[in-house]
Amino acid sequence: MADGSQHPYAARPQAATHDWLTPPAIIEALGAFDLDPCAAREPRPWPTAREHVAPPANGLLVAWRGRVWLNPPYGKHTEQWLARLAEHGDGIALVFARTETRMFQRWVWPRAAAVLFLGSRPKFHHRDGTQARRGCGGPMCLIAYGVQNAAALRQSGIAGTIVVPMYTEVP
């Protein structure tokens, strides 16, 4: 920040050791996004949004506008990214379905409009566009913030089960 104070998202989140790109069919099924603050570096095999923020830039420190696609770095920093999306209130995140975690208790159950628990584990892609041989290491879900994004989950045709958290308004 210009005044020298510590920004609440200033810690530089680091992904594990590889970039894991969202399967393009998921992006296509959900419709157009305005911003991907966790985009892969160029060259990327397909766009995930109209605007991409990729390393070395820190997507937590830029202004978020419009509908956000979020496939965050997984691990101890995932919660920071999900918190930011919950505060933004307009977008969809793809994360592990770890419903018992503090992250879910703080940023999903009380704030999300809907959660789509995927019927199968997606196979992510490498930066060159090739598909990983195996599915990811655990069950995954898409978390919608905002009623339009909950509707996008319902209309996506992505196999799974949609849950509307009890303490949010039904979209």
- If 0-12 CB within 10 Å is exposed, 13-18 middle and 19+ buried, where does residue 51 land? middle
At 132, list the tokens: 């990983």
Other beta carbons less than 10 A from residue 45's beta carbon: 13
Give 107-122 pLDDT, tens digit per residue.
Answer: 999 999 999 999 877 7
Choose among 147, 53, 143, 134: nearest CA to 104.
143
Instruction: Return the structure tokens found at 20.
Output: 């894991």
pLDDT digits (tens, 9 = 90+) for 23-34: 889 999 999 999
Across residues 88-112, what is the average pLDDT?
A: 94
Query: What average pLDDT does range 145-155 have in this prediction?
Result: 97
Domain ranges of the chain: 24-163
pLDDT tens-digit map of 39-91: 988 888 889 999 999 989 999 999 999 999 999 988 888 999 999 999 999 99
